[in-house]
Amino acid sequence: MKPYLPLCAMVLLSACTDSSDVINNSAQVAKSAVSTIDTIKTHEPAFDEARFRQGIQTLSSDTFEGRAPTTKGEKLTLDYLTQAFSEMGLKGANNGSFLQAVPMVSYTASEDQQVNFGGITLKYRKDMVLSSRHDNQHITIEKAPLVFVGYGINAPEYQWNDYQGLDMKGKIAVILVNDPGFAKPERQLFNGKAMTYYGRWNYKFEEASRQGALGAVIIHDTKPASYPWSVVENSWTGAQQDLVQDKAVQDARVQVEGWLTLDTAKALFTKAGVNLDNLMAQAAEQATNQALSLTADIHFNNQASYSDSYNFVATLPGATADTNTKSASASSQKSQADEHILFTAHWDHIGIDETKTGDNIYNGALDNATGTAGIMEIARQFANQAKAGNGLKRSLTFIATTGEEQGLLGSRFYAANPLYPIDKTVAVFNLDSGNIYGKTSDYTIVGKGQSELETYLIDAAASQGRQATAESNPASGGFFRSDHFSFAKYGVPAVFAGGGSEPLDTVTAEYKTMMQAKMKGCYHNVCDHYHQDWDLSGALQDMSVYYMAAEALGNSQDWPGYYSGSEFNQLRPAKNGQNGANKVAAKPSSAHTVSSK
Ligand SMILES: [Zn+2]
């Protein structure tokens, strides 16, 4: 993920030991997973840890060059997946092909950016990063007024408009990261500590564009952002990929977007004669904006290049009517093979940074070779079950998405251009950055309280003796930060879950402490390498939960929906309306939720 979803790694941390009991108690698990459904036979997933490990190691090897879209690393990755899924006997979902072309444009801003804000010359990478999503060779902005717009939020349902009374034409918005609920949780603004979509950088650039601004820069702040400046620098320099947009959409986008360090912003505001700390405090209490009586000059070169990247989409067809009528009741005789349950995991990562010396390959072992190898292993188990005559009624479709790190590009494209109709898409199970910290006694559901789909996870996890909980850090906006969100926007119940915060035992706790120290600072960094001493039992345990949940759902006629408290409720409502008590997901307005990007 991009600083977007970055947190998948941190949110899903969990803990561990050996994987044997996951597998041993899964039959029992499956039974309880199904408690709400009629008659479903269940089977233990016999995951092969060595093969799972091998998959992670291969995908994250230097040979795969960090798996950036449209590079040699992509070709190697797609070939690897094609071979693996062909051997399992799955079908290409795109008229027999496993590949779905995703038209992308890549923008590269020159490193020699000449940027002067209010008389202060800013250094690229050190003080700021800027980019442009326009096909213009030269970005030239002179004397553009800088306007502080608080959190940059226009949210009628919260009676909050930071742009109140402003005409942003020709101006550059300077914006705080996250939302007021994070700064002042005691005031219960927005969704309290849990980040809303209004706190995401993509929303802020979209809103500044809707306001007609010329540019938009976000002030980085480690705590509310939930990641350090290095993540911004690594993710926002070099080629920036995007989906090819309609011209009207592209024309409406701000000319320049980017980030400032907090120190740079402080110096800037001081120069303007205002105190940033005071303004930040005010912006967290009420909608706030203030012209800074400073202007900006910005010059850099910008290159756009167009090429296709690919989603990898493989299907294990559900049983046909013929094969499942033998013992079935009349009501279930109709084939459900046109109904699809999706597993998603992004195959892409950041690639190589040629400007770096030394190790410059972003191997993305945790993020997201673990998830990609994970869906391979889950698919293999279901394929084996189907060969043994235990296929599911519904079809299973496995999507390794592209461009997740650049803004959920592949999943957004698939959801807008599905190979199977969205209204025949039952659910999405997303894997992103598996648990390398060993087994846990709890089970984390990101954005818990969203949809009925989670009841399947809760039951399956309970059968492992694990209690499902919301993520410990909803402030990082995890529900908006990985591919499941692209499907939620279309009303398809989608979950992102796994790991936990409670290591299973003291040995696991010690291992977790050790491994967390080893992996520290490696999120979206070149040190996200595969480690031979990773304990993968927690990841396997989580894969079993998904497996059992999908097996129960795959043999049922249930269509889970979103609870009434969810922003996606209207798109596919839950049968029983109310949600559980632990609602923590953010609440973008539906208008924003459904907008692209
Ligand atoms: Zn990721």
Ligand 1 centroid distance, CA of 260 (Å): 24
Residue 593 binned pLDDT confidence (cut-offs 50, 70, 90): very low
CB-count exposure of residue 286 (10 Å: 0-12, 13-18, 19+): exposed
Average pLDDT value for residue range 249-257 = 93
Contact 156, 589 (CB under 8 A): yes
Going through 462-514 in order, the beta strands assigned E by DSSP cover: 467-470, 494-496
Residue 12's pLDDT is 34
Average pLDDT of 381-392?
95
Could you tell me the CA-to-CA distances from 475 to 37, 182, 342 in Å, in that order? 34, 7, 27
Q: Residue range 1-8: average pLDDT?
A: 37
How many angstroms does the Cα of residue 410 sit away from the middle of ligand 1?
Answer: 13
8 Å CB contact between 131 and 155: no
595: exposed, middle or buried (C-beta count within 10 Å: 0-12, 13-18, 19+)?
Answer: middle
Q: Which pLDDT band holds residue 566 (cuts at 50, 70, 90)?
A: confident
> Residue 314's beta-bridge partner residues?
92, 398
Domains detected in the chain: 1-597 (3.40.630.10)
CA of 6 to the centre of ligand 1 (A): 6
Residue 198's alpha-carbon distances to 1, 188, 451, 588, 589, in angstroms, are: 18, 15, 21, 6, 9
**HSE of 472, CA atoms in CB hemisphere, 13 A:** 13
User: In the chain, what are the helix, strand and coil shares in percent, each to the nearest 5?
Assistant: 35, 20, 45
CA of 433 to the centre of ligand 1 (A): 6
pLDDT of residue 39 exceeding 50, the answer is no
Q: How far is the CA of 346 from the centre of ligand 1 (A)?
A: 7
Measured in Å, residue 431 CA sits from the centre of ligand 1 at: 8
**What average pLDDT does the chain have?**
87
- Ligand 1 centroid–CA 432 distance in Å is 5
What pLDDT sits at residue 8? Answer: 35
Expressed in angstroms and rounded, the spacing between residue 469 Cα and the centre of ligand 1 is: 21
Q: Which residues pair with 260 in a beta bridge?
A: 128, 219
Say yes or no to pLDDT of 191 above 90. no
DSSP for 256-322, written as a single string: EEEEE-HHHHHHHHHHTT--HHHHHHHHTTS---EEEEEEEEEEEEEEEEEEEEEEEEEEEPPPPHH
pLDDT tens for 72-99 read 999 999 999 999 999 999 999 999 999 9
Ligand 1 centroid distance, CA of 482 (Å): 7
Burial environment of residue 433 by CB neighbours within 10 A (0 to 12, 13 to 18, 19 or more): buried
Q: Extract the tokens encoding 74.
A: 């992509």
Structure token pair of residue 39: 């008659």
Q: At residue 455, does pLDDT exceed 70?
A: yes
**pTM given for the model:** 0.78
**Centre of ligand 1 from the C-alpha of residue 18, in Å:** 25
The pLDDT value given to residue 580: 41
Model confidence band, residue 559 (pLDDT cutoffs 50, 70, 90) = very high
Q: 553 CA to middle of ligand 1, Å? A: 26
> Residue 296 Cα, ligand 1 centroid: separation in angstroms?
34
Confidence band, pLDDT 50/70/90 cuts, at residue 43: low
In the chain, the percentage of residues whose pLDDT exceeds 70 is 87
Q: What is the structure's pLDDT at 567?
A: 76
- Confidence grade of residue 28 (pLDDT, cut at 50, 70, 90): very low
- Count CB-CB contacts under 10 A for residue 164: 12
Quote the pLDDT of residue 479.
85
By three-state DSSP, how is residue 554 classified? helix
Q: What is the mean pLDDT of residues 546-564?
A: 96
